[in-house]
């Protein structure tokens, strides 16, 4: 069963009401802490360990990014006029079944032809360690488990993803670099290019090894690094570099594939056909049955018509064979034979 942040949430919480007001109530300000004679809380670190070697939450600084404001009870989101420092939350978790590493519920341990679409929460850069712990404990970053609206905006990520081999067997580097963020599903859409100086990326060192006759995958190391400090690929004997990369821009893809490709056109035709059959299955079955019955009736009627057309000819032939004709020759009897012989003798005497 796939591992996730869910294991960090105690089972007893299902029976006990969990306070989630921190996710939608406004954050406490420095003035609030000062007015209540309380110390400012510690700021959450760049990397929060959920389970050593298995799961980590990265707070990736988004240098110069616009900040999405979601006010309580307000339906329309806005952009902060003077954007505060912000970060993107990325949850890297090892999966046991299937074996791999997931980023926000999406498998990134391989590089498929269609890269997975990934979204991330945007949080204030000074989010406290206490709030970060609640995010982790209550599994906020799992789209399957968290269904409560929050004050945090969500962005679609445009990214570069790379897997690099190492000289050691069973080890490889995984590099994940967010290049742009997009918000297009709500009011006031917008995009931002993360190309400012100082923008960082995430690099993980993954290790596969046998343990108790079972193949296991662990995160040996995870770092938030400057782009220029990323690990360089090794050169193989063939002269090529041992690296595989993928780039993904959500604006260039949809459910069927990448725009402008023959593969997407084929997928769209296929899925539209399947949708039509799914939505109109009963109608198609009824029409098929009616057409089949109609064809059968026409075939039976045609066969009967052909048989009827051939019937008079057969009756005439039988009638000709069985009819009594008036000009038929008489039957040969003994009397008739004697008369014929007598006539022949009379002819002979006349000569």
Task: Quote the pLDDT of residue 2.
Answer: 46
Peptide bond into 43 cis (omega under 30): no
pTM above 0.85, yes or no: no
Task: Quote the pLDDT of residue 214.
Answer: 86
Task: Quote the pLDDT of residue 314.
Answer: 53
How far is the C-alpha of 166 from the C-alpha of 151, rounded, in Å?
42
Task: Quote the pLDDT of residue 217.
Answer: 94
Task: Quote the pLDDT of residue 317.
Answer: 55
How far is the C-alpha of 318 from the C-alpha of 267, rounded, in Å?
68
Task: Quote the pLDDT of residue 177.
Answer: 97
Task: Quote the pLDDT of residue 91.
Answer: 95
How far is the C-alpha of 213 from the C-alpha of 210, rounded, in Å?
6
Task: Quote the pLDDT of residue 105.
Answer: 84
Task: Quote the pLDDT of residue 332.
Answer: 53
Task: Quote the pLDDT of residue 5.
Answer: 42
The per-residue pLDDT string of the chain (351 residues; one tens digit each, 9 = 90 and over) reads 444 443 343 333 444 578 888 888 888 888 888 888 889 999 999 999 999 999 999 999 999 999 998 877 777 888 998 999 999 999 999 988 778 999 988 889 887 778 899 999 999 999 999 999 999 998 888 766 676 778 888 899 999 999 999 999 999 999 999 999 999 877 888 899 999 999 999 999 999 988 888 889 999 999 999 999 999 999 998 999 999 999 999 998 777 778 777 776 765 576 667 666 667 767 767 877 888 887 888 888 877 777 777 665 555 555 555 555 555 555 555 555 566 666 665 555 555
How far is the C-alpha of 227 from the C-alpha of 162, rounded, in Å?
13
- The contacts of residue 174 (CB under 8 Å, 6+ apart) are 101, 108, 109, 161, 162, 163, 164, 203, 204, 205, 206
Task: Quote the pLDDT of residue 140.
Answer: 87
């Amino acid at each position: 069963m796939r591992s996730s942040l869910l294991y960090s949430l105690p089972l007893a919480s299902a029976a006990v009401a969990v306070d989630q007001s921190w996710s939608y109530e406004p954050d406490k300000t420095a003035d609030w802490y000062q007015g209540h004679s309380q110390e400012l809380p510690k700021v959450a670190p760049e990397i929060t360990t959920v389970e050593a070697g298995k799961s980590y939450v990265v707070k990736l600084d988004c240098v110069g990014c616009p900040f999405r404001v979601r006010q309580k009870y307000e339906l329309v989101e806005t952009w902060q006029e003077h954007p505060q420092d912000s970060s993107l939350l990325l949850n890297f978790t090892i999966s046991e079944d299937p074996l791999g590493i997931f980023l926000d519920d999406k498998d990134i341990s391989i590089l498929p032809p269609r890269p997975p679409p990934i979204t991330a929460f945007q949080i204030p850069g000074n989010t406290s360690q206490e709030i970060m712990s609640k995010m982790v404990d209550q599994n906020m970053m799992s789209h399957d488990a968290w269904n409560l609206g929050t004050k945090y905006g969500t962005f679609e990520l445009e990214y570069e993803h790379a897997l690099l081999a190492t000289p050691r067997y069973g080890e490889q580097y995984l590099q994940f670099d967010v290049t742009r963020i997009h918000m297009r599903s709500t009011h006031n859409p917008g995009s931002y290019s993360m190309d400012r100086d100082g923008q960082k990326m995430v690099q993980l060192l993954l290790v596969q090894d046998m343990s108790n006759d079972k193949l296991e995958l662990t995160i040996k190391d995870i770092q938030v690094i400057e782009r220029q400090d990323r690990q360089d690929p090794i050169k193989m004997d063939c002269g090529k570099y041992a690296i595989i990369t993928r780039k993904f821009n959500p604006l260039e893809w949809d459910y069927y594939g990448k725009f402008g490709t023959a593969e997407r056109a084929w997928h769209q035709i296929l899925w539209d056909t399947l949708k039509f059959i799914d939505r109109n299955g009963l109608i198609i079955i009824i029409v098929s049955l009616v057409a089949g019955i109609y064809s059968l009736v026409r075939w039976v009627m045609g066969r009967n018509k052909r048989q009827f057309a051939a019937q008079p000819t057969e009756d005439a032939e039988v009638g000709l064979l069985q009819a009594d004709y008036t000009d038929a020759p008489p039957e040969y009897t003994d009397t008739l034979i004697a008369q014929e012989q007598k006539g022949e003798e009379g002819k002979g005497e006349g000569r």
